[in-house]
């Protein structure tokens, strides 16, 4: 198995066949599992023998998902959760407590920001944010004796800034702290933080892993001794993934590689076209040579990802008119779907921040984020180009 390619592991990692000899894995919708006898029950509870006891602890569908993702990310062990946020919270809460400190990049998913600023402080855990533009050498001055974790996302949402994971891992190792990377935007197909030195890799599996906007799921992957702590916390606090959702995500991973190839090809094509459009101020895409961290993005990511950000001329109002003019693209709070999605962060997800706070995370008033789907690129492009045109006309 170990020498198989990524695509093969994604397809051939499968839970053991039942006596029925099914080809595709069945869904194990059971709350608990039966012990062979009293001694078996005692040994499993004593952790002397491996086995599934109760679905809050483990389940064949979730075990398959975790084993598969470990093979795809290059990690030793993992724990599947009911949502991406359950993964983010569990991966923090399992390691920090009263008096501890987390160093994080400022550009984080909205709910992760709420955990760090509103929830963990209630339990005496503080944090410091560093702008993504800060050189890694300068992150070191914010590390304190009580710093337990560095938490980052790369590429960042929605500005698509790139952080140097190898440099961050060196910094974390020097200080004996955990580097936790939310790898949702890149997926294991484009970027493997653990291979660059990250100790924990977290995902919202809701996005590209599902890939069709059907379900919510998350996963925490990493070194075995760290996942031991995550598993203890997860088993007793109950963020377990439903086996049905675990089955959906595991089946979807069989096509992750080919889907990401197309998502990325469509996104690159769109980014290149928009870059020369006169109604667009700038386009941000990790694998466009105009991206400020193009070299790093090329080194760290196999392809540029499925998300394109650009600034349309005319600020907040033009951004809103652009969304209203779209005919095919969906206006919805998701990404990584087979259907293309447009969002305008300044008037929606980030509207509660001040304009200055928005600029700190790279969000200008006219910024539009496109999650490039799997429709034909000509149709995606045609809808965006006509919306640019229609939204400009109203302005005159």
Ligand X SMILES: *Cc1c(COP(=O)(O)O)cnc(C)c1O
Min dist. Cβ of residue 152 to ligand X (A): 11
Binding flag, residue 216, ligand X (CB under 6 A): yes
Min dist. Cβ of residue 341 to ligand X (A): 12
Say how many CA atoms lie within 13 Å of 47 toward its Cβ: 4
Q: Quick one: which of 204, 266, 300, 391 contacts ligand X (CB under 6 A)?
A: 204
Q: Quick one: which of 90, 206, 245, 252 contacts ligand X (CB under 6 A)?
A: 206
In DSSP notation, 198-218 reads: -SEEEEETTTTTT-SS----E
Using CB atoms, what's the residue nearest to ligand X? Answer: 84
Based on CB atoms, which residue is closest to ligand X, 95 or 185?
Answer: 185
Binding flag, residue 83, ligand X (CB under 6 A): yes
Helix (H) or strand (E) holding 228, with range, is helix 224-237
Binding mask 87-106 for ligand X (x = CB under 6 A): -x------------------
Min dist. Cβ of residue 41 to ligand X (A): 35
Stretch that binds ligand X, among 123-131, 202-210, 241-249, 311-319 (CB under 6 A): 202-210
The answer to whether the beta carbons of residues 84 and 203 sit under 8 Å apart is yes
Q: Quick one: which of 218, 243, 286, 319 contacts ligand X (CB under 6 A)?
A: 218
Binding flag, residue 231, ligand X (CB under 6 A): no
Based on CB atoms, which residue is closest to ligand X, 306 or 314?
Answer: 306
What is the end-to-end Cα distance of the chain in Å, rounded? 62
Binding flag, residue 207, ligand X (CB under 6 A): yes
Min dist. Cβ of residue 109 to ligand X (A): 4
The Cα 26–Cα 24 span in angstroms is: 6
The Cα 184–Cα 162 span in angstroms is: 13
Based on CB atoms, which residue is closest to ligand X, 216 or 388?
Answer: 216
The Cα 206–Cα 214 span in angstroms is: 8
The Cα 126–Cα 113 span in angstroms is: 12
Binding flag, residue 85, ligand X (CB under 6 A): yes
Q: Would strands 178-182 and 147-153 be described as parallel, antiparallel, or unpaired? A: parallel
Binding mask 141-180 for ligand X (x = CB under 6 A): ------------x---x-----------------------
The Cα 326–Cα 146 span in angstroms is: 49
In DSSP notation, 253-290 reads: HTTHHHHHHHHHHHHHHHHHHHHT-TTEEEEE-TTSTT
Q: Which two tokens stand for residue 305?
A: 């990802």
The answer to whether the beta carbons of residues 204 and 246 sit under 8 Å apart is no
Stretch that binds ligand X, among 81-89, 114-122, 140-148, 306-314 (CB under 6 A): 81-89
Binding flag, residue 73, ligand X (CB under 6 A): no
Using a 10 angstrom Cβ sphere, with 0-12 exposed, 13-18 middle and 19 or more buried, the burial of residue 393 is: exposed
Min dist. Cβ of residue 376 to ligand X (A): 25
Min dist. Cβ of residue 231 to ligand X (A): 19
Q: Which residues bind ligand X (CB under 6 A)?
A: 83-85, 88, 109, 153, 157, 182, 184-185, 204, 206-207, 216, 218
């Amino acid at each position: 198995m170990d020498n198989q390619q990524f695509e093969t592991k994604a397809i051939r990692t499968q839970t053991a066949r039942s006596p029925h000899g099914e080809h595709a894995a069945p869904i194990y919708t059971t709350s608990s599992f039966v012990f062979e006898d009293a001694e078996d029950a005692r040994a499993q509870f004593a952790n002397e023998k491996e086995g599934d006891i109760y679905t809050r602890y483990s389940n064949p569908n979730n075990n398959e998902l975790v084993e598969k993702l470990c093979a795809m990310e290059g990690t030793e062990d993992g724990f599947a959760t009911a949502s991406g946020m359950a993964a983010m919270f569990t991966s923090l809460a399992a390691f920090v407590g009263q008096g501890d400190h987390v160093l994080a990049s400022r550009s984080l998913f909205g709910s992760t920001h709420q955990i760090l600023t509103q929830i963990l402080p209630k339990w005496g855990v503080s944090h410091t944010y560093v702008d993504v533009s800060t050189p890694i050498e300068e992150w070191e001055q914010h590390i304190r004796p009580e710093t337990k974790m560095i938490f980052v996302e790369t590429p960042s949402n929605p500005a698509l800034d790139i952080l140097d994971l190898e440099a961050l891992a060196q910094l974390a190792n020097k200080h004996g702290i955990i580097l936790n990377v939310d790898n949702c935007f890149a997926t294991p197909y484009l970027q493997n933080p653990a291979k660059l030195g990250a100790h924990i890799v977290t995902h919202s599996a809701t996005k590209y892993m599902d890939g069709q906007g059907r379900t919510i799921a998350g996963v925490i992957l990493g070194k075995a001794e760290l996942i031991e702590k995550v598993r203890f916390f997860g088993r007793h606090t109950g963020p377990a993934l439903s086996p049905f959702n675990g089955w959906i995500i595991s089946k979807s991973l069989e096509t992750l590689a080919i889907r990401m190839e197309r998502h990325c090809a469509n996104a690159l094509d769109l980014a290149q076209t928009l870059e020369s459009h006169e109604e667009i101020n700038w386009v941000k895409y990790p694998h466009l040579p105009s991206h400020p961290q193009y070299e790093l993005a090329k080194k760290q990511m196999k392809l540029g990802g499925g998300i394109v950000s650009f600034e349309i001329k005319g600020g907040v109002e033009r951004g809103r008119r652009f969304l209203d003019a779209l005919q095919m693209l969906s206006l919805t709070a998701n990404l990584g779907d087979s259907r293309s999605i447009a969002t305008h962060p300044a008037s929606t997800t980030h509207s509660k921040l001040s304009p200055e706070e928005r600029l700190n995370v790279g969000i200008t008033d006219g910024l539009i984020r496109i999650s490039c789907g799997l429709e034909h690129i000509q149709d995606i492009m045609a809808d965006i180009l006509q919306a640019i045109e229609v939204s400009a006309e109203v302005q005159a």
